[in-house]
Amino acid sequence: MFTSFSIQAPLTAIDSTLQQKIDNKTKPLGSLGEIEGLAFQLGHIQQTSSPDVSKPKMIVFAADHGVVAQGISLFPQEVTPQMVMNFLQGGAAVSVFCQQHKVPLRVVDVGVNAELEAHPLLGVRKVAYASQDFSVQAAMTGDQVALALQAGVDEVNLALDEGVNVLMFGEMGIGNTCVSSCMMTALMGVSPENCVGRGTGLDKAGVSHKAQIIQASLHRAEQDTGLPMSQWTAQTLAEQVGGFEIIAMAGAMLQSAQRQTAFVVDGFICTVALLFAQKVAPNVVAYAVFSHQSNEQAHTQLLAHFKAQPVLSLGLRLGEGSGAILAYPLIQSACVFLNQMASFDSAGVAEANSTIEPKSNVEVKSE
């Protein structure tokens, strides 16, 4: 069964103080655009006018998926453990970007279909050796859902107890764009065709096949549960069509929010994890910083659902936390702006004269 989450939205009492501090910096009102919005959000979450993101951590959850047997990915399942080792050895995109920005990286095995070699950066919380093929049976049992969710909770507790003050999440698992698209279809009630994308590089026929597998899988699940997917609980949805690393990410997000800590959402798969977490506890969204707009078509729909303004839009579709870590320097800059930029008073700079009426229809004469 699900862990019980009690998530309170951040209090609003500090909001006017935050906005006043932002507006009194030596700049025209609103001239730093989304950086100002980021600074406000971080201060709102941390309940301070001097937010701090100097102790970050990236956690990548990894698992395999039985539905890969249906040919929904260009890459074989063996790539998952191979890529996990690449993360640990410092060769993946998320690895080198974390090294660049001095962000500690941890990779958590919640369901990789292999025994991984011990490594200082590896956390082992294996629920099973891959989920089941959800096109023919439920993806996981109720006990496995609870274990996957708890893996995320425990990882967040470990990080926050070490003094981490902002978390970033990523994922690895061949086939997990198909799983995410299936979860999105069930959670939002949209068609599979509107939720599927190229993933690791599928052509048009491959994308169409993926949509057909999702449709068939959801039909199978509705028959097995005796309920239309619109009536599924979060527990039922996870059991029928979830993925271990996606449920673990959702657990991590829920626990981050419960402990009033900002977390950075990566791309499509990570945002589906947030969509699932929202079904469990709606206030979780207040603690989410959206890092980027993915090149996956369905990610635009998800961002619209959350009314989110992502930090970046670079055409990314790699996953593994790459967008989250690329956004981190701008998240840092939002705090630097709020904490270190001079105010009009401290710099002795005159503010704009609000009594001057803007002129209109001014005739400009040339010499």
Query: Which pLDDT score, from 0 to 100, does residue 359 have?
Result: 47
Going by pLDDT thresholds of 50, 70 and 90, the confidence category of residue 364 is very low
E strand or H helix at 233: none
Going by pLDDT thresholds of 50, 70 and 90, the confidence category of residue 363 is very low
Q: Where are the alpha helices (DSSP H) in the chain?
A: 15-23, 34-46, 79-88, 93-100, 142-161, 176-188, 204-225, 234-241, 244-258, 268-280, 297-305, 322-340, 344-347
- Over residues 118-129, mean pLDDT: 98
**What DSSP state is assigned to residue 12?**
S
Half-sphere exposure of 204 (CA within 13 A, CB side): 0
Query: Which pLDDT score, from 0 to 100, does residue 354 have?
Result: 54
Task: Please say whether the beta carbons of 85 and 93 come within 8 A.
Answer: no
CB atoms within 10 A of CB 3: 14
Sequence-distant (6+) residues with CB within 8 A of 323 are: 266, 267, 291, 292, 294, 312, 314, 316
Query: Which pLDDT score, from 0 to 100, does residue 198 have?
Result: 67
- Over residues 82-105, mean pLDDT: 98
DSSP assignment of 251-301: HHHHHHHHTT--EEE-SHHHHHHHHHHHHH-GGGGGGEEE-B--SSHHHHH
What's the rounded Cα separation, in Å, for the pair 252 and 108? 12
- Over residues 320-335, mean pLDDT: 98
The letter for the amino acid at 228 is P
State residue 197 phi and psi, 5-degree precision.
-145, -170
Domain 56-336 of CATH type 3.40.50.10210: yes
Going by pLDDT thresholds of 50, 70 and 90, the confidence category of residue 71 is very high
356 pLDDT above the threshold of 80:
no
353 pLDDT above the threshold of 80:
no
Task: Please say whether the beta carbons of 59 and 168 come within 8 A.
Answer: yes
**Residues forming beta bridges with residue 59, ordered by sequence position:** 106, 169
**Residues forming beta bridges with residue 302, ordered by sequence position:** none
**For 58-69, what is each residue's pLDDT tens digit?**
999 999 999 999
- Over residues 338-354, mean pLDDT: 84
* Residue indicated by tokens 């001014």: 362
From the list 171, 245, 296, 320, the catalytic residue is: 320
Between 73 and 266, name the one with better pLDDT: 266
**Residues forming beta bridges with residue 347, ordered by sequence position:** none
Task: Please say whether the beta carbons of 91 and 98 come within 8 A.
Answer: no
Sequence-distant (6+) residues with CB within 8 A of 208 are: none
Domain ranges for the chain: 56-336
pTM: 0.93
What's the rounded Cα separation, in Å, for the pair 212 and 72? 10
Examine the residue annotation and report whether 320 is marked as an active-site residue of this protein.
yes
- Over residues 190-196, mean pLDDT: 92
Going by pLDDT thresholds of 50, 70 and 90, the confidence category of residue 217 is very high
The letter for the amino acid at 71 is G
Average pLDDT, the chain: 94
- Over residues 192-198, mean pLDDT: 86
